[in-house]
A and B are shown apart, each in its own frame.
Chain A
């Protein structure tokens, strides 16, 4: 390296100033959405309505949760999935119900999609005994193992190899099931991903490694924390890969179905980058100085829920009254969940020692 004036030396790519040059920055570049209609994707009218209801539920659940948080009903972290609902919904519709799913801490949408009820979810946020994880996990640790949703995890990248472990077990037992491990763009920089990808390709594990690239890792834009195109990581491992438009539920459904079929048939891993956008801050205390309002609005204009609503409208699958009916029902469900959570008991003090070991009366050191 030639000698350089020290003041000019830069390590991390700079972001300061970029946001102020008048041009709207793009958190992520979205690939084209699918042009296919629901019928040719193999989705019935009822499927489409169910997708709409599911996405709307995830949205309203979190908006209400945020309100309750601001009212001081519960503490800790609260990472909202708002903006990314097409990914959980499209995937769960594309997968078999017994296929295994694991994700990071931005997990409410995933839980709701995989059978955590609004009551169980809200109660978990409130830290109540009636929560899906008995109040022990909170926002970051929704789980419903009976529905093959193995939970949200709080260490960035920590759960990636665990998803590969599910695939190992599925192959070992010959279940014919696949698994998928979802994580953010920030987690791409963790060694755990790269070790898991090598293992999975080497051992031909039926697993999908799926990046929900929402353009930011906390306050750091993807281009400031990771090099090149994320999807190209697959090349180094000889792994199949795809990029998906995560703001369109049909695109997610179509591609994830193809990929799931491929992974299942060939028992081979797949690396998938789904591009999306998070509307809210990283957690609840994020001034969001790293992006502009204009940038956020660009993505809100292509909101996945509104997009599906438009589609349903123009294809006359639901009337205005149908929408009102669904939306009111969901609204009531979420309000009931808040009440349920509020009225539910906290765990007993003695419950603190439960779920540590397999035995009935385990040893605790004092």
Chain B
């Protein structure tokens, strides 16, 4: 194991895949000469040159679509968005084109492309820079959606995403880029898409949390342990395809579940998990599944309001107390 920052883990994965396959290239705003707005692509230009590490204008729709075309022509583009909040300008290319071209042509075209960048909020950046998009994209057929929480996951899943023959959305976080963690040094380290992980074992309640919310869940679990409640934390890592068996297995053991999701509440990841649990493990539940999400309100700028808006460990603890009837 080596200790790496989240951003380094992603870069190592991209670097290894670019070294392995000449058809892999990366483009996006400030990825080349500036070395990446968040330094994820630092050094790649020097190593791979101007043909394969490419600065784009602020033309999200254009360069995302250009990536789709390049993918249909046998290349394997990695398209970086400065954040997924700006990828909404490219939503037409992702939703109407990348996910549908294979189907519409009866399988005549493939679209092996990775769209990546930070997702959701990153502090006081205001209403337009703070939305979590993983649930929304997971609604659409033909997309794989990954939102990771730790450097090791980032490395293994990024490599899988690049090798995948389909469009994959790979989500990160500005606030996690500096996070350090042990990363496997196994040669060609791959984590399969669609495999979740039990990151903390416990028997009293299952907490399901991915992306930045995983870290909120970890804080909550530490506090709960002091009160004698042992939470099991599952990080699905991939939103879609979802590792449902792992979740159901855990529910059968703990009989209680809290889902922590960084999206707004309506029809999001948490809603879907709640539905699936009642369908697959209804008889095992000792309490209704609860969720902690953002409120149904835009992100406020003011620090005080932002801190209220953003899901907190306390909200997770309260939800756990409720499902374990400790209130």
Contacts and interface: CB of A to CB of B under 8 A. Distances in A.
A140 interface: yes
List the 3 closest pairs (A to B, CB-CB), nearest first.
A127-B302, A138-B301, A189-B57
A285 B278 CA distance: 47
Given A191-B62, A365-B296, A136 B301 contact: yes
Nearest to B34: A219
Contact of A225 (B50, B57, B295): B57
A225 B59 CA distance: 10
Contacts of B308: 349, 352
A220 B305 CA distance: 34
A153 B86 CA distance: 13
Interface string B51-74: 100111111011000000000000
Given A190-B59, A352-B309, A154 B128 contact: yes
Contact of A135 (B30, B51, B305): B305
Q: Is the interface of A mostly helix, strand, loop or mixed?
A: loop
A319 interface: no
Contacts of B61: 191
A156 to B, nearest CB: 5
A138 B27 CA distance: 31
B302 A290 contact: no
B58 A135 contact: no
A241 B51 CA distance: 36
A186 interface: yes
B267 to A, nearest CB: 9
Interface of B: 27, 29-30, 32-34, 37, 49-51, 54-59, 61-62, 85-86, 89, 123-129, 264-266, 295-298, 300-305, 308-309
A9 interface: yes
Q: Which of A191, A217, A351, A352 has the most CB of B within 10 A?
A: A352
B129 A154 contact: yes
Q: Which of B54, B129, B301 has the most CB of A within 10 A?
A: B301
19 contacts: A10-B50, A12-B55, A76-B126, A127-B301, A135-B305, A136-B300, A136-B305, A137-B301, A141-B126, A154-B128, A190-B58, A190-B59, A218-B30, A220-B33, A224-B55, A347-B304, A347-B305, A351-B305, A365-B264
A137 B126 contact: yes
B303 A74 contact: yes
Contacts of B127: 136-137, 141
A76 B51 contact: no
A172 interface: no
A191 B63 CA distance: 11
A75 interface: yes
B89 A155 contact: yes
A141 B300 CA distance: 11
Interface in A272-304: 289-290
Contacts of B32: 12
A108 to B, nearest CB: 14
A14 interface: yes
A189 B66 CA distance: 15
Given A11-B50, A16-B33, A220-B34, A135 B266 contact: no
Contact-residue size bin, chain A (C-beta under 8 Å from the other chain):
35 or more
A248 to B, nearest CB: 28
A6 B85 CA distance: 34
Given A219-B34, A364-B295, A77 B125 contact: yes
Given A14-B50, A137-B301, A75 B129 contact: no
A346 interface: yes
B57 A352 contact: no
Contact of B51 (A10, A186, A349): A10
A226 B57 contact: yes
A366 interface: yes
A198 to B, nearest CB: 16
Contacts of B34: 218-220, 289-290
Interface string A225-254: 110000000000000000000000000000
Given A12-B54, A349-B308, A365-B266, A135 B302 contact: yes
Interface string A173-198: 00000000000001101110000000
Nearest to A153: B128
A186 B57 contact: yes
Nearest to A364: B296
Nearest to B57: A189
Contacts of A346: 302-305
A135 B124 CA distance: 11
A129 B305 CA distance: 10
A356 interface: yes
